[in-house]
Protein backbone atom coordinates (compact mmCIF):
# COMPACT_ATOMS: atom_id res chain seq x y z
CA UNK A 1 0.00 0.00 0.00
CA UNK A 2 1.28 3.48 -0.82
CA UNK A 3 1.57 6.20 1.81
CA UNK A 4 1.54 9.92 0.96
CA UNK A 5 4.66 11.46 2.54
CA UNK A 6 5.06 15.04 1.26
CA UNK A 7 4.08 17.74 -1.18
CA UNK A 8 6.66 20.14 -2.68
CA UNK A 9 6.39 23.87 -3.34
CA UNK A 10 9.05 26.04 -5.00
CA UNK A 11 9.68 29.28 -3.12
CA UNK A 12 11.69 32.46 -3.71
CA UNK A 13 12.54 33.37 -0.10
CA UNK A 14 13.05 30.28 2.02
CA UNK A 15 13.14 31.98 5.42
CA UNK A 16 10.01 34.03 4.66
CA UNK A 17 8.15 30.87 3.64
CA UNK A 18 9.39 28.84 6.63
CA UNK A 19 8.26 31.68 8.90
CA UNK A 20 4.83 31.84 7.27
CA UNK A 21 4.14 28.10 7.65
CA UNK A 22 5.42 28.13 11.23
CA UNK A 23 3.24 31.08 12.25
CA UNK A 24 0.18 30.02 10.27
CA UNK A 25 0.13 26.26 10.88
CA UNK A 26 2.73 25.43 13.52
CA UNK A 27 4.98 23.59 11.04
CA UNK A 28 8.59 23.24 12.14
CA UNK A 29 11.70 22.38 10.17
CA UNK A 30 12.17 18.59 10.31
CA UNK A 31 15.14 18.47 7.91
CA UNK A 32 17.18 20.78 5.72
CA UNK A 33 19.45 19.72 2.85
CA UNK A 34 21.66 22.31 1.19
CA UNK A 35 23.08 21.59 -2.29
CA UNK A 36 25.07 23.74 -4.73
CA UNK A 37 22.08 24.87 -6.78
CA UNK A 38 19.11 24.26 -4.47
CA UNK A 39 18.01 23.80 -0.86
CA UNK A 40 15.29 21.44 0.41
CA UNK A 41 13.48 22.12 3.70
CA UNK A 42 10.93 19.66 5.10
CA UNK A 43 8.27 21.02 7.45
CA UNK A 44 5.92 19.06 9.70
CA UNK A 45 4.03 19.23 12.98
CA UNK A 46 3.13 16.67 15.62
CA UNK A 47 -0.38 16.17 14.18
CA UNK A 48 0.72 14.31 11.03
CA UNK A 49 3.56 12.43 9.37
CA UNK A 50 2.87 14.22 6.07
CA UNK A 51 5.46 16.89 5.30
CA UNK A 52 5.61 20.03 3.21
CA UNK A 53 8.83 20.25 1.20
CA UNK A 54 9.95 23.77 0.33
CA UNK A 55 12.45 23.96 -2.52
CA UNK A 56 14.64 27.01 -3.05
CA UNK A 57 16.36 27.09 -6.44
CA UNK A 58 19.41 29.28 -5.81
CA UNK A 59 19.76 32.29 -8.08
CA UNK A 60 16.07 32.40 -8.99
CA UNK A 61 14.72 35.96 -8.75
CA UNK A 62 11.45 35.79 -10.70
CA UNK A 63 8.25 34.52 -9.07
CA UNK A 64 7.11 31.11 -10.26
CA UNK A 65 4.18 30.89 -12.66
CA UNK A 66 1.67 28.86 -10.69
CA UNK A 67 -0.36 28.25 -13.84
CA UNK A 68 -3.86 26.86 -13.77
CA UNK A 69 -2.97 23.32 -12.73
CA UNK A 70 -2.18 23.95 -9.07
CA UNK A 71 -5.17 23.70 -6.73
CA UNK A 72 -4.34 24.09 -3.04
CA UNK A 73 -2.94 22.58 0.13
CA UNK A 74 -5.39 21.97 2.97
CA UNK A 75 -5.05 22.10 6.76
CA UNK A 76 -7.71 21.11 9.33
CA UNK A 77 -7.89 23.20 12.52
CA UNK A 78 -9.82 22.86 15.79
CA UNK A 79 -11.16 26.43 15.83
CA UNK A 80 -11.73 27.85 12.34
CA UNK A 81 -12.83 31.30 13.51
CA UNK A 82 -9.85 31.72 15.84
CA UNK A 83 -7.49 30.70 13.00
CA UNK A 84 -9.21 33.14 10.62
CA UNK A 85 -8.96 35.97 13.16
CA UNK A 86 -5.29 35.20 13.87
CA UNK A 87 -4.40 35.19 10.17
CA UNK A 88 -6.32 38.41 9.53
CA UNK A 89 -4.51 40.12 12.42
CA UNK A 90 -1.18 38.91 10.99
CA UNK A 91 -2.03 40.53 7.63
CA UNK A 92 -2.44 37.25 5.73
CA UNK A 93 -5.76 38.41 4.16
CA UNK A 94 -7.89 35.26 4.55
CA UNK A 95 -11.02 35.02 2.42
CA UNK A 96 -14.39 35.13 4.19
CA UNK A 97 -15.38 31.86 5.86
CA UNK A 98 -17.73 29.75 3.75
CA UNK A 99 -19.88 26.69 4.36
CA UNK A 100 -20.48 23.84 1.96
CA UNK A 101 -23.44 21.49 2.27
CA UNK A 102 -24.72 18.57 0.24
CA UNK A 103 -28.30 17.35 0.42
CA UNK A 104 -28.92 19.65 3.38
CA UNK A 105 -26.08 18.06 5.34
CA UNK A 106 -23.15 20.29 6.36
CA UNK A 107 -19.98 19.09 4.67
CA UNK A 108 -17.34 21.74 5.41
CA UNK A 109 -16.59 25.16 6.89
CA UNK A 110 -13.49 26.76 5.41
CA UNK A 111 -11.56 29.77 4.15
CA UNK A 112 -8.55 30.28 1.91
CA UNK A 113 -5.29 32.15 2.42
CA UNK A 114 -2.20 32.50 0.24
CA UNK A 115 1.40 31.93 1.27
CA UNK A 116 4.15 34.46 0.37
CA UNK A 117 4.60 32.86 -3.08
CA UNK A 118 0.88 32.90 -3.90
CA UNK A 119 0.10 29.24 -3.25
CA UNK A 120 -3.50 28.83 -2.10
CA UNK A 121 -4.17 27.07 1.19
CA UNK A 122 -7.58 25.88 2.34
CA UNK A 123 -8.16 25.98 6.09
CA UNK A 124 -11.01 23.70 7.22
CA UNK A 125 -12.83 23.26 10.51
CA UNK A 126 -11.86 19.85 11.86
CA UNK A 127 -15.06 17.82 11.49
CA UNK A 128 -16.49 14.87 9.57
CA UNK A 129 -14.05 13.68 6.92
CA UNK A 130 -11.74 16.64 7.53
CA UNK A 131 -9.79 15.45 10.55
Active site residues: 122
What's the per-residue H, E or C state across 83-128?
A: HHHHHHHCCCCCCCCEEEEECCEEEEEEEEEECCCCCEEEEEECEC
Strand (E) or helix (H) holding 82: helix 80-89
SS3 33: strand
Distance CA(79)–CA(76), nearest Å, equals: 9
Is residue 84 within 8 Å of residue 97, measured between CB atoms?
A: yes
Amino acid sequence: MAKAIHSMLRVLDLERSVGFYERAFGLKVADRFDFDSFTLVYLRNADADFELELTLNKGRTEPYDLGDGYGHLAFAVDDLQAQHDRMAQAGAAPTPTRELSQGGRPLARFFFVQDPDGYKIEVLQRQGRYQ
